[in-house]
Amino acid sequence: MFSADPDADLRQMADDSTFLHRDAARHAMRFRASGDVADLVAVLDDPHPCGMTDLVFAMAGAKRPWLNWVPMPSEAITNVANDIGGRRARGEQLEVTGLGLSAAEPASAITACRRVAGPMDIGIAEFPPPDIRTPVRPGRYAVWRYDGTEPVPAVPAPSADAVRLLQKVGGEPWQSPLSGYDKATPLGELPLGDLLGLLAHLPGPPDTPRWQHLATSTPTYWYRLMQPWVCLGILHHAGHEPWPTSIRREVLVDLAFGVEDWVADAALFALVTAAYREPELRAEVRQLVRARLDAAVAADRLVTIEESLAKLMLVTPGCRADDRALATAVLARAAQDDEDEEPQPAPAEKRRWWRRRG
């Protein structure tokens, strides 16, 4: 029915005088042209909501970060893990004996590295302030703790059934947050302990052609993708509870403002999804996303999830002009830093190193 070109399909819909959702298609086109999330929200405010409205919403977000896919890992340690894992998948014999970082990186990134590259000693030179091990805000729920410099799960491992279900449900990116929420429904039937365990213990990917292929290039991406799927599952947990006092809200907010980690923006993504579905949540969720982005920007050091938080801010319902200005500035600075660093070696204090044997 539709081509692989969402822009062309949306233009055709908008020009079709018989199409009931022409206004929704026009808003979707404007969002794709300008990035103004108000137009994306307007798609959901269609006076004739139905499955076609959801499809137009998905087309509006096609190939856009968080709306259709999770940003790629950007940490130095995941770059190394992708190199090691990819070379092994292509048949190279490679044994890693140790790896060192000049500064701490997220617990999930370190764990994903070990999942891909195998057990290894990881030396961390420093934990510059604000200490990545310290939650942004205190909370009751957490999935990571630190044993000195070593991140370790703060929750028990998930059941084998939970792992199998995650691999079945979360093996592909979502078409949109709305379709992702629906697809994650079975995850919401798991015990909360299993859901939290999946976030920290990081089970491996499904044995499918997609992940066999990605094993040769970006094997850490599964671990980045699976956590938002789990958080969508948490969004279903005890769905009968009123939102303000619900466990699902408390868990997601605590994780969003816990230690600096991939889990934080995964939890915020689930909250943003809730805001799309329930307009009465939008003001609170916008404030939460902005507060977490503010905390990242205020840190006088590299925050590896800062760019993904900025991208999430831009697709948060109710995103204001000042929110958009801050997020755009974060992304512009990151792009400029990448350009500045391209032709020259990294400064000594930022240099990462690894050593291998074999």
Angstrom distance (rounded) from CA 13 to CA 23: 9
Cis peptide leading into 317, omega within 30 of 0?
no
Quick one: CA torsion of 267, 304, 169, 85, rounded to 10 degrees?
-160
Contact residues for 133 (Cβ-Cβ < 8 A; gap 6+): 104, 127, 146, 151, 259
In a domain, 178, yes or no: yes
Same domain membership, residue 207 and residue 308: yes
Q: Kindly state whether residue 172 falls inside one of the protein's structural domains.
A: yes
Query: Is 122 in the same domain as 47?
Result: no
Q: For residue range 185-230, what is the model confidence (pLDDT) as tens digits? A: 999 999 999 999 999 999 999 999 999 999 999 999 999 999 999 9
Whether 280 and 182 map to the same domain: the answer is yes
Q: Are residues 274 and 316 in the same domain?
A: yes
The pLDDT value recorded for residue 94 is 86
Asked whether residue 150 is assigned to any structural domain, the reply reads no
Query: What's the structural domain count of the chain?
Result: 3
- Within this chain, do residues 116 and 246 fall inside the same structural domain, yes or no? no
Give tens-digit pLDDT for 68-94. 999 999 999 999 999 999 999 999 998
pLDDT at site 351: 31
Q: Could you tell me if 171 and 187 lie in one domain?
A: yes
Verify that 200 and 330 share a domain, yes or no. Answer: yes
d(CA 163, CA 159): 7
Does 222 fall in a domain? yes
CA angle (77 as vertex; 75, 79 as ends), nearest 5: 75
Same domain, 187 and 94: no
279 and 226 in a common domain: yes
Banded model confidence at residue 95, pLDDT cuts 50, 70, 90: confident
Mean pLDDT in residue range 160-165: 98
Q: Are residues 198 and 90 in the same domain?
A: no
| CA 337 to each of CA 182, 213, 313: distance values in angstroms, whole numbers, following the listed order | 38, 31, 20
Number of separate helices (H) and strands (E) present in the chain: 16, 5
Q: Dihedrals φ, ψ of 69, to 5°?
A: -155, 155
What amino acid occupies position 335? A
**Do residues 37 and 176 both lie within one domain?**
no
- Please tell me the distance from the alpha carbon of residue 351 to that of residue 354, in angstroms, as a whole number: 10
Which residue type is seen at 25?
A
Do 274 and 309 lie in one domain? The reply is yes
Lookup result for tokens 């199409």? 19
Residue 224 lies in a domain: yes
For the chain, percent of residues with pLDDT exceeding 70: 94
Residues 250-284 pLDDT 10s? 999 999 999 999 999 999 999 999 999 999 999 99
For 172, which DSSP code?
Answer: S
Question: Is 144 among the domain residues?
Answer: no
Tell me the residue range of the domain where 293 lies: 160-341
Spell out a b/e string for 308-330, using b for 16 or more CB atoms within 10 Å of the CB, else e.
Answer: bbbbbbbbbbbbeeebbebbeeb
Query: Per the domain annotation, does 205 fall within a domain?
Result: yes
